[in-house]
């Protein structure tokens, strides 16, 4: 996996070309337009973020009134920075939805990409992937340093290591920017390709979740998407674009293996479509939380995609529902956690299961993660693969598309596996 193409100019349009590293006047003009649009958007949603008041109050006794209510919707980082020692009421979950005591841990099955790339070991590695997708819906793409190394030793593995560590670092620096600079990208619109926000779906959540996020659509061609990403920290676009490329290549490789495991003979056309498919990077920040036992960073949900590739720092927090119990995933720094999304459950006609997962927060350690969601192009309808439907195994899901999902999400649903449930055909 080479990053070399980022050193060569990328055509922006037939009249103006630019590199990601040195924008031309044309891209600067584009940026100004985008900034103006972002500012207009921020102005529209600012009242929602600034003025929402928490009827129950909930700040520290020693803090000002503003701290207790007025700034609640400014997000978790803002509250954490202000040193609250009690959780504002708007974040307090009903008892039945609180994290509870999750002491059991989960060591995810490991899919070793080096074995996947070795013709002598590929079949066995595909067997492991198949079993992991059926039983867990989650697996660990093993030792990505080693895995990526196997690919990039020809190129420059030092750069690739930098790419992975660099993404978590630039994400951390983005969330450390003063709020007004992050707020340029505020949007309550789930369809916005670039969106800074808080909670799960802050426009609809009755109880807020202890997470801030930056969503970046990273569809191909990447350079078109990158121009709309935040321009600070100054290296965010470059670092994230490099990461997005490597990540997408890794997804393609895992997807090809999954199609092989599913026995999809004619997968070439789907793989071609996926090359230009929909991708989105979600940078998540879960600040230290004054009362983590009362809230969650993210509620139980499944992902709307084929596969999610998750990069997390060394702080644990991800929990997976397995055999009716929540289990905490041991973070393996630098590795990818891969999980089956709703699209793959539908496409595999239920053979692979998208898994419920959630995020628990903690008292002392902020956590950063980057989830990359990959799927078919947005306009493409997805349904069960013909090869996986027969008399003995009838079609279990209706076709669906991205627009339907977004409408569902905008309406306020989307937690648990509610969207997937809505696509199920009663057998
Ligand atoms: O932060 C994590 O570990 C999980 C993130 C996630 O589930 C999401 O962004 O949908």
Q: What is the per-residue pLDDT for 36?
A: 53
Nearest CA to ligand 1 atom 8: 371
CA of 342 to the centre of ligand 1 (A): 15
Nearest CA to ligand 1 atom 1: 369
Residue to mutate (ligand 1; options 298, 307, 320; most atoms within 8 A of CB): 298
pLDDT tens sequence across 288-325:
999 999 999 999 999 999 999 999 999 999 999 988 89
The CATH number of 113-423 is 2.60.120.330
CA of 59 to the centre of ligand 1 (A): 27
The rounded distance, in Å, linking the Cα atoms of 327 and 137 is 13
CA of 308 to the centre of ligand 1 (A): 9
Residue 284 alpha carbon, nearest atom of ligand 1: 1
CA of 283 to the centre of ligand 1 (A): 9
CA of 330 to the centre of ligand 1 (A): 14
CA of 68 to the centre of ligand 1 (A): 27
Residue 303 alpha carbon, nearest atom of ligand 1: 10
Nearest CA to ligand 1 atom 9: 371
Residue 297 alpha carbon, nearest atom of ligand 1: 1
Burial 165-183 (b: 16+ CB within 10 A, else e): ebbbbbbeebbebebeebb
Domain boundaries, the chain: 17-91, 113-423
CA of 128 to the centre of ligand 1 (A): 24
Counting beta carbons within 10 angstroms of the beta carbon of residue 203, is it exposed (0 to 12), middle (13 to 18) or buried (19 or more)?
A: middle
Q: What is the per-residue pLDDT for 309?
A: 92
Residue to mutate (ligand 1; options 284, 329, 367; most atoms within 8 A of CB): 284
pLDDT tens sequence across 369-422:
999 999 999 889 999 999 999 999 999 999 998 888 888 877 776 677 788 888
Counting beta carbons within 10 angstroms of the beta carbon of residue 112, is it exposed (0 to 12), middle (13 to 18) or buried (19 or more)?
A: buried
Q: What is the per-residue pLDDT for 3?
A: 26
Q: What is the per-residue pLDDT for 144?
A: 40
CA of 137 to the centre of ligand 1 (A): 14
Q: What is the per-residue pLDDT for 319?
A: 94
- Full-prediction pTM beyond 0.85? no
Within 6 Å (CB) of ligand 1, which residues are found? Answer: 282, 284, 298, 303, 310, 312, 317-318, 357, 359, 369, 371
CA of 285 to the centre of ligand 1 (A): 10
Q: How confident is the chain (427 residues) per 10-residue block, as mean pLDDT? A: 26 29 35 48 46 35 38 80 90 96 84 87 91 80 38 27 91 96 89 92 88 91 91 97 91 93 88 93 97 97 93 93 89 84 94 94 96 93 94 94 83 76 85
User: Using alpha carbons only, what angle is made at residue 272 by residues 278 and 130, rounded to the nearest 5 degrees?
Assistant: 80
CA of 404 to the centre of ligand 1 (A): 22
Nearest CA to ligand 1 atom 3: 318
Residue to mutate (ligand 1; options 201, 212, 371, 415; most atoms within 8 A of CB): 371
Residue 337 alpha carbon, nearest atom of ligand 1: 3
Q: What is the per-residue pLDDT for 16?
A: 29
């Amino acid at each position: 996996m080479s990053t070399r193409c980022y050193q060569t100019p990328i055509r922006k349009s037939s009249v103006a070309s630019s590199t990601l590293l040195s924008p031309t006047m044309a891209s600067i003009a584009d940026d100004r337009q985008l900034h103006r649009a972002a500012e207009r958007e921020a102005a529209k949603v600012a009242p929602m973020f600034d003025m929402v008041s928490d009827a129950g109050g909930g700040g520290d006794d020693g803090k000002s009134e503003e701290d207790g209510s007025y700034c609640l919707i400014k997000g978790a980082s803002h509250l954490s920075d202000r040193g609250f020692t009690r959780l504002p009421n708007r974040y307090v979950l009903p008892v039945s939805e609180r994290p509870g005591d999750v002491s059991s841990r989960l060591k995810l099955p490991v899919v070793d990409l080096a074995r996947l790339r070795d013709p002598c070991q590929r079949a066995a590695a595909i067997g492991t992937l198949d079993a992991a997708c059926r039983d867990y819906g989650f697996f660990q793409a093993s030792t990505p340093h080693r895995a990526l190394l196997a690919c990039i030793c020809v190129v420059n593995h030092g750069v690739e290591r930098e790419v992975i560590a660099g993404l978590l670092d630039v994400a951390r620096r983005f969330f450390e920017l003063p709020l007004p600079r992050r707020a340029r990208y505020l949007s309550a619109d789930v369809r916005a390709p670039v969106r800074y926000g808080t909670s799960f779906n802050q426009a609809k959540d009755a109880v807020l979740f202890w997470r801030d996020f930056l969503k970046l659509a990273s569809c191909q061609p990447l350079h078109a998407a990158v121009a709309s990403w935040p321009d600070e920290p100054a290296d965010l676009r470059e670092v994230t674009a490099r990461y997005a490329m490597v990540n997408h290549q890794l997804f393609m490789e895992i997807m090809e293996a999954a199609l092989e495991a599913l026995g999809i003979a004619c997968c070439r056309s789907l793989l071609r479509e996926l090359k230009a498919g929909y991708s989105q990077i979600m940078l998540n920040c879960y600040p230290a939380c004054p009362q983590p036992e009362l809230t969650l960073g993210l509620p139980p949900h499944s992902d709307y995609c084929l596969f999610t590739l998750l990069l997390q720092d060394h702080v644990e927090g991800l929990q997976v529902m397995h055999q009716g119990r929540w289990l905490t995933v041991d973070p393996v720094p630098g590795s990818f956690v891969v999980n089956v999304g709703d699209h793959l459950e539908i496409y595999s006609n239920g053979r692979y299961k998208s898994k419920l997962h959630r995020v628990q927060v903690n008292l002392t350690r902020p956590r950063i993660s980057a989830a990359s969601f990959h799927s078919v192009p947005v306009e493409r309808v997805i349904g069960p693969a013909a090869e996986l439907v027969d008399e003995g195994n009838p079609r279990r899901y209706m076709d669906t598309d991205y627009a339907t999902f977004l409408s569902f999400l905008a309406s306020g649903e989307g937690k648990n596996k509610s969207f997937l449930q809505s696509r199920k055909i009663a057998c």
